[in-house]
Amino acid sequence: MTLNVVKSYFLLRTKVILSYRMTALSGFVTQIIFALFKIFIMYAFIASNPADSPMTLGATITYIWITQIFFSIIPWNVNWDEMNAITSGNIVYELTKPIDLFPLFFSKTLAWRFGSSIVRVVPIVLFNLIVLPVFGFQEYALKIPDVKYVLFFLCSIFLAYILSSMITVFLYSITLYTIDASNFLGIINSVAFVLSGTIIPLGFFPEIFQKILILQPFKGIIDTPAMIFTQQYTDLQSLGFMLLQVAWIVIFYFVNQRVFKIGMKKIEIQGG
């Protein structure tokens, strides 16, 4: 049942996104410009003292492109259709469906995350593989790793989508306990950007913070896949960090199950 829901909402979301071609185009252009802006900044930063940089220039450039290609995976936002359903009371319609609320919300969120990414992945990759080399800017382009690391990356990014969706569903569950969760969402949004590696790679943070950054859940959303893709991890390290992704998925799964179960007992629907 859950797989059918994922498939249905994924296809629906994809059709909706592709119907807004200008919006998709503007999003693509924005990601390109923002990526190049960050690359030039990091280029100047690393070139000034390459010996002290935790990553090579090529790896850093590829890392930045990965963060922009999979920008939609970051749980910095929520699907307001789902959020408004909770705050407005329209969630009562979801309760009539023959599926528990948690797997329903998770399925829709996972489909939403996948669908939002589909318009970015192919155009930005083609821009890197074709446009930049043609104009002589191949040093600023995405570098494709060995096949083994591509396979590791695909496994890790798949886990990252599940983890991101679990975190997003947790944000929905908090709304069951409060009338307005906007302040809480604002904090999580900022934290997600910083701790996922979207602003700067986590390896560039001071050494004193590295142990904490490695263990926190947001690393598994983009930093882990990006570090694998840039071949910064050995095979054993890649598998270890993917296991950490799985661990956080399991934790959020049980937390969400518990929070939704308690929240549904407290929910009140007002109206005639």
Measure the CA–CA gap between 263 and 75, rounded to whole angstroms.
22
Does residue 84 register a pLDDT over 70? Answer: no
Q: Specify the pLDDT at position 80.
A: 66
Q: What is the mean pLDDT of the chain?
A: 84
Asked if 231 and 59 touch (Cβ cutoff 8 Å), the reply is: yes
pLDDT digits (tens, 9 = 90+) for 121-176: 888 999 999 999 999 898 899 999 999 999 999 999 999 999 999 999 888 888 77
Does residue 271 register a pLDDT over 60? Answer: no
176 phi/psi in degrees, rounded to 5: -65, -20
Q: Specify the pLDDT at position 127.
A: 92
CB atoms within 10 A of CB 84: 14
Provide mean pLDDT across the span 180-185.
Answer: 69
Which residues are CB-contacts of 99 (< 8 A; sequence separation ≥ 6)?
A: 1, 2, 5
For residue 272, being part of any structural domain is answered with: no
Does residue 104 register a pLDDT over 70? Answer: yes
pTM of the model: 0.89
User: 233: pLDDT confidence band, cut at 50, 70 and 90?
Assistant: very high
Percent of the chain with pLDDT over 70: 79
Q: Specify the pLDDT at position 59.
A: 94
Q: Specify the pLDDT at position 253.
A: 94
For residue 270, being part of any structural domain is answered with: no
* Three state DSSP letters for 131-158: HHHHCCCHHHCCCCCCHHHHHHHHHHHH
Which residue reads 């699907």 in tokens?
79
User: 94: pLDDT confidence band, cut at 50, 70 and 90?
Assistant: low
CA–CA–CA angle 182, 111, 109 (5° rounding): 25
For residue 269, being part of any structural domain is answered with: no
Percent of the chain that is helix, strand, coil (3-state, to 5): 80, 0, 20
For residue 192, being part of any structural domain is answered with: yes
Hey, what are 64's tokens?
């930045």
Side chain identity, residue 159? L
How many structural domains compose the chain? 1
For residue 95, being part of any structural domain is answered with: yes
Q: Specify the pLDDT at position 82.
A: 72
Measure the CA–CA gap between 139 and 136, rounded to whole angstroms.
8
For residue 189, being part of any structural domain is answered with: yes
List the domain range (segments joined by +) for residue 108: 2-264
Q: Specify the pLDDT at position 272.
A: 41
Q: Specify the pLDDT at position 246.
A: 97
Q: Specify the pLDDT at position 210.
A: 92
Q: Specify the pLDDT at position 107.
A: 82
b/e code 22-61 from CB counts within 10 Å (16+ = b): eebeebbeebbeebbebbeebeeebeeeeeebebebebbb
